[in-house]
Amino acid sequence: MTLKPGEPGSGRFELLVQSVTDYAIYMLDLSGEVVSWNAGAQRFKGYDADEIIGQHFSRFYTDEDRAAGIPAHALATAEREGRFEATGWRVRKDGTHFWANVVIDPIRDPEGTLIGFAKVTRDLTERRHAEEELRRSEERFRLLVQSVTDYAIYMLDPQGHVASWNAGAERFKGYRAEEILGEHFSRFYTDEDRAIDFPAHALETARTQGRFEAEGWRVRKDGTQFWASVVIDPVRDNTGTLIGFAKITRDLTERRQSQLALDQAREALFQAQKMEAIGKLTGGVAHDFNNLLAAIIGSLDLARRRAAQGGDITRFLDNAMMAAERGATLTQRMLAFARKQALQLESVDPAALVRGMADLLQRTIGTSVRIDTQFPLMLRSVRADPAQLELALLNLVVNARDALPEGGRVLIAAREERVELGGTLKPGSYVALSVIDTGSGMDEETLARATEPFYTTKGVGKGTGLGLSMVHGFAEQCGGRLVLHSRKGEGTRAELWLPVSDAAADADPAPSATPEPPAPQGDRLVVLAVDDDALVLTNTAAMLEDAGHRVIQATSGKQALQLLSESRIDVMVTDFAMPDMNGLQLVDAARAGWPDLPALLVSGYAELPEDVGANLPRLAKPFRRDQIARAVGEAVALSKGPGRVVPFRARK
């Protein structure tokens, strides 16, 4: 730098230098002492001009730099090379350090004689802190990415070559970093995907749409495949230029297998869980059946006592028969529910239905609880399954009884309601059939979970937890809903909302226990009755004998085949579910020797699988005397075709 003192404009230069505050601009003499000082130097070095002018500039250096001779080296370099530039720590007046960029230029007169140095210093502390923080952030990010083992996180260049590789990628893709860096990422794809150039499509989608995401099969180093979730994002610099792609891959093989298994068996699993839970809650199931058995046993006990006294026992026998039939309906409906059978919806008069089951309800809950009813004079019929509606009411009344351990009153009431648009039910007319008790009530948590399957507060062996959930499901299948209102200590009101029936002509349902006409009397037959349950076998034989037939009993399939070879048999009646050899297997084995043998298959299931004995006459348990007598006659007639029934004689 050449300075000409006194030349035009030099004053303006001095004003310019003195006005600069972001740079320390000052002069040094040949020995390094400060001879000028601007506002910028004063601002970030802390010295006033009169404090520093005449002082050696080495005081701005750290003790370590002074000990190493850095100040003298800087001046010698500037003189020798025409410029010195460096960055490093410098010291302020108060002893604090700042990171500075320093430039020293030699100053010469017109003849080229060195007369001093121009020194420009800039405080870069904030920038250095930012750079240091960026470096630490990048290091933390690098460590983070490298430490992730559940995700493959790596970079691709714009052409798709691998530019970085983390531990997760190595773990489930199998390549070490030195094996895969620089290789094209398409090697992770299947042959089928590469054949349609799917990798290039993925990069192009990420580039044009800002993101690519997909799931599919990918290939490990050893050739095995895994199901992966892949996300590719474009990486651009500050100018928007594409510099590569960030790729994140996760191994979802186990989750996909679980999801596929869940999708394939979702409905079956749901049914299996219900049935498994029922199996574990047999004590609770017994509790529900005991509600019906209480009515049966009580009625039969009274009938036996009245019979001994010569009294009329018809009413008690009717009550016992009605309760038993409702128990059979309960069993069949549970089995049908497990097989997803539809309800038999028809028009039902709720008031008549409640009156018809009044005795059963009262005998079921005992004398300590009084049942009252409250129905309007005119109440329209509802559309529901009458048998299921009876069970729903029985469940609600039993729950009300359980909430009244010291006795009390249960009210069964009904009212008509109109639902408009915007509700949880479809618009239309409904009958709200209510069961109201004044018992202990439910807290908010219990009320919220009351309709959950298998949720019960009654303790082990005192309830299945299925009652309210079945009522809830029944109501929804009918197009209605179950609404519970309860507060702790204030009782419960259970409202069964059912849609009003459109079929007014069918409002009066047929009685649930209408006796069937007696079976037609035919020839006296020799019947082989087969059942592994001795009690059921004895009862079946008694019914058949009462119908006029002669009965031979067998407790197993093997014994039945032996009796067939020893006796003349006209027809075989066999249970389906037996150990070692079930009923269908027995019929097949018997007809191998006696092809024309009439057979009747009896089962306690609501419905046998469609492929089980499709061509065999069937009879569901429980059955009455007239029902089995008629079924036996029809089985014989079916085996002979049209015309007179000719008894079949099994060959010996």
Model confidence over 357-387: pLDDT tens digits? 888 888 778 888 889 999 998 899 999 988 8
- Percent of the chain surpassing pLDDT 70: 79
Q: Give CA torsion, residues 16, 21, 22, 28, to 10 deg.
A: 70
pLDDT of res. 650 = 36
Which letter, b or e, does each residue of 570-579 get, where b requires 16 or more Cβ atoms within 10 Å of its Cβ?
bbbbbbbebe
- What ranges do the domains of the chain cover? 10-125, 148-251, 341-506, 526-640
Tokens representing 316? 């008690």
Specify the range with the lowest mean pLDDT, choosing from 27-36, 76-85, 266-275, 522-531: 266-275
More confident residue, 652 or 577: 577
CATH superfamily of 526-640: Response regulator (3.40.50.2300)
pLDDT of res. 57 = 93
- Residue 178 phi/psi, 5-degree rounding, is -70, -20
More confident residue, 409 or 463: 409
Work out whether strand 481-486 and strand 151-156 pair parallel, antiparallel, or are unpaired.
unpaired
Question: Highest-confidence range of 252-266, 274-288, 342-356, by mean pLDDT?
Answer: 342-356
Tokens representing 390? 């009876």
- The per-residue pLDDT for range 121-150, each reduced to its tens digit, is 988 888 888 777 777 776 676 666 666 677
Average pLDDT over residues 501-510: 52
Which numeric CATH code is attached to 341-506?
3.30.565.10
pLDDT band of 510, cuts 50, 70, 90: very low
Same CATH topology for 10-125 and 148-251: the answer is yes
Specify the range with the lowest mean pLDDT, choosing from 293-307, 485-499, 506-520: 506-520
pLDDT of res. 599 = 93
Average pLDDT, the chain: 81
- Among residues 202, 512, 211, 470, the alpha carbon closest in space to that of 352 is found at 512
- Percent of the chain surpassing pLDDT 90: 37
Q: Which CATH class is domain 148-251?
A: alpha beta
**Claim: this prediction has a pTM higher than 0.75:** no
**Collapsed DSSP state (helix, strand, coil) of residue 529:** strand
- Answer for the pair 24, 44: CB distance below 8 angstroms, yes or no: yes
pLDDT band of 9, cuts 50, 70, 90: very low
Residue 104: C-alpha distances to residues 78, 84, 120, 178 (Å):
6, 5, 6, 46
Q: Which CATH class is domain 10-125?
A: alpha beta
- Residue 207 phi/psi, 5-degree rounding, is -70, -45
**Collapsed DSSP state (helix, strand, coil) of residue 615:** coil
- The per-residue pLDDT for range 441-500, each reduced to its tens digit, is 888 877 777 666 555 555 444 444 456 777 877 788 888 888 888 888 888 999 999 999
